[in-house]
Amino acid sequence: MGGKPGMELHNNTGHPRRWAILGVLVISLLVVVLDNTILNVALRTLADPVHGLGATQGQLEWAINSYTLVFAGLLFTFGVLGDRVGRKRFLMVGLALFGLASLLSAYSQGPGQLIAARALMGVGGAAIMPVTLSIISNVFDPRERGRAIGVWAGAVGLAVAIGPILGGALLEHFWWGSVFLINVPVVIAGVVLVALLVPESRDPRPGRIDMLGVLLSVVGLVSLSYGIIDGGEHGFGRPLAWGSILVGIAVLAWFVQHERSSDHPSLDVRLFKVPHFAAPVAIVGLVFFAAMGSMFFGSFYLQLVRGYSPLQTGLLFLPFAGAQLIFAPRSAAMVRRYGGRAVATVGLLLTVVSLAAFVFIGASTPIWIVLLVFLIQGTGMANIMPPATESIMSALPREKAGVGSAVSNTVRQVAGALGVAILGSVLSAVYRSDIGDALTGLPAQAHDAANESISGAYAAAGQLGPAAPALISAANDAFVTAMHWAAALSAVIAALGIIVVLRWMPGREAVVVAPAPVAEPELAGTV
């Protein structure tokens, strides 16, 4: 990228191998994001007691959320630790840990082992994500840094596109563990390339580690999510569900208070007093809450109600992923022309329309309509993230770009986890309520399995002989009704984002703000 004498980039201060290094960092990011998109098409198989682990819907939600919650809780602290001990070293350790946890996940003997292995994968993912951004900031000239971060972010769209297809292809030909085992060779290649290409770097003034803050955030999020999932699985009449929810809320409130008074917070909550920062972060949270929950029930709908194979399901998600790949790179030009507020509003409107459309989708809806809904949703989300990210970054001084990215990533992960938990709970509760009458007279074991989830109903139907078609039909009807309620709630949540955009999102006239409260030395290590 060096130019002729007199050109802007003639005195480029970036690393000579910076673009090759970026390629290695993209591989590191791909393995983290790819795993979650692959898991979506494996849910039905994991619920199968013969070909999978016989996991309940609650256990499947925890298989997703154990990774996400650990990842989000450790993201900031691992950013500080990577800056302290060396970013290259920390990236290699994170990749190795992620590969080991993938191996343990592939050979799990039960849902509990899988949930624990996925939590360990979250530790590895939290070590990988923040140091990749720190390394980009270290090896790229400031004039190229925005482009490099754009390529880094585009890797997420690539993972969304290829994850479901790769996962479906693996499940067509191999056992369920292959969706995790595929990570191992990628991790090995990543470790070797990092060792060969990536230079070591450290922050000369790393921030201290906020151990109490990390502990409070993880305990609070896990307790809150556990209560929601337990309530959805067993009903909210149990004291355990409400007790866990209240403990989670109390611990998170303690976390916020602690972060406000700490001189080395893992999350500087003062950032959220800046509207141009807080509004887009809220939008990211609301959108991913709705989107992750809808993808959770969408996978079951396609594989069970519609009868598609895992590979076919992955291909059916292509319009969603393809729309993001096509429209996300173009949204920056739209922001420059029309302003972030206008682009984000249109993106949110498309997302709300697509989620609300699921309320009218039934067991026999033509599949092209479902594909169109996925296309609209992908287009909408592709036009939300760039203006939201631009607003987040413009609200911070340049040296705090890593802080903005870390906050955005954490909110996205936590919101996605809670979306799966809450919308999954709505799905379970409505399903159980609707299918109750159809289970009268069934053997106790079949009754309990069918009452648990649609996956359990399909498994029970295999043992019922002539009574199986009636049970399958009732389960499909109950699930579709439950999906309608969950979709309606997700549309309402996404619609709240429109209010946030119109009230607080900066438009074309936005001025870059560098608020004093977030420019303190203690935050330097949270990149």
Neighbouring CB atoms inside 10 A of 93's CB total 20
Distance CA 526, CA 405 (A): 10
Exposed, middle or buried: residue 173 (CB in 10 Å: 0-12, 13-18, 19+)? exposed
Distance CA 488, CA 328 (A): 26
pLDDT score of 189 more than 60: yes
Average pLDDT of the residues in 55-60: 77
Average pLDDT of the residues in 503-517: 54
Lowest model confidence (mean pLDDT) among 2-16, 253-267, 369-383, 428-442: 2-16
> What are all long-range contacts of 200-205, with beta carbons under 8 Å and residues at least 24 apart?
200/86, 200/87, 200/88, 200/89, 201/86, 201/87, 201/88, 201/134, 201/135, 201/138, 202/83, 202/84, 202/85, 202/86, 202/87, 203/83, 203/84, 203/134, 203/524, 203/525, 203/527, 205/521, 205/524, 205/525
By C-alpha distance, which of 315, 249, 255, 298 is closest to 423? 298
- What contacts 146, CB < 8 A, 6 or more positions away? none
Give the whole-number percent of the chain exceeding pLDDT 70.
Answer: 81
pLDDT digits (tens, 9 = 90+) for 334-391: 777 887 788 889 999 999 999 999 999 998 899 999 999 999 988 888 888 767 766 7
pLDDT digits (tens, 9 = 90+) for 23-32: 888 888 778 7
pLDDT score of 271 more than 50: yes
Average pLDDT of the residues in 155-181: 78
Which stretches of 34-110 are assigned E, i.e. beta strand?
A: none
pLDDT digits (tens, 9 = 90+) for 376-393: 988 888 888 767 766 776
Determine the pLDDT at residue 161: 63
Q: Which amino acid is at 171?
A: L
Distance CA 136, CA 201 (A): 11
Determine the pLDDT at residue 332: 67
Average pLDDT of the residues in 235-246: 82
Determine the pLDDT at residue 7: 42
> Looking at per-residue confidence, does 233 or 313 come out higher?
313
Cα of 40 vs its chain's centroid, Å: 11
DSSP states along 349-375: HHHHHHHHHGGG--TTS-HHHHHHHHH
Given pLDDT bands bounded at 50, 70 and 90, which one contains residue 253?
A: very high
Lowest model confidence (mean pLDDT) among 93-97, 110-114, 123-127, 227-231: 227-231
Neighbouring CB atoms inside 10 A of 431's CB total 27
Average pLDDT of the residues in 496-524: 57
Q: Which residues of 111-150 are buried (b: 16+ CB within 10 A; e: fewer)?
A: beebbbbbbbbbbbbbbbbbbbbbbbbbbbbeebbeebbe
Q: Which DSSP state fits 270?
A: G
Supply 166's token pair: 């790769």
Distance CA 493, CA 474 (A): 29
Dihedrals phi, psi of 309, to nearest 5 degrees: -75, 165
Determine the pLDDT at residue 355: 92
Neighbouring CB atoms inside 10 A of 466's CB total 6
- What contacts 467, CB < 8 A, 6 or more positions away? 442, 461
The label of the residue with tokens 């033509």 reads 366
Q: What radius of gyration do the chain's Cα atoms show?
A: 23
Give the whole-number percent of the chain exceeding pLDDT 90.
Answer: 13
> What are all long-range contacts of 17-22, with beta carbons under 8 Å and residues at least 24 apart?
17/139, 17/197, 18/139, 18/140, 18/144, 18/148, 20/197, 21/135, 21/139, 21/197, 21/198, 21/199, 22/136, 22/139, 22/140, 22/148, 22/151, 22/152
pLDDT score of 401 more than 60: no
Given pLDDT bands bounded at 50, 70 and 90, which one contains residue 9?
A: very low
Helix, coil or strand: residue 35: helix
Determine the pLDDT at residue 5: 43
Instruction: Check if the beta carbon of residue 150 is closer than 8 Å to that of residue 333.
Output: no
Distance CA 351, CA 344 (A): 10
Determine the pLDDT at residue 156: 66
Determine the pLDDT at residue 2: 45
Determine the pLDDT at residue 406: 64
Distance CA 427, CA 297 (A): 8
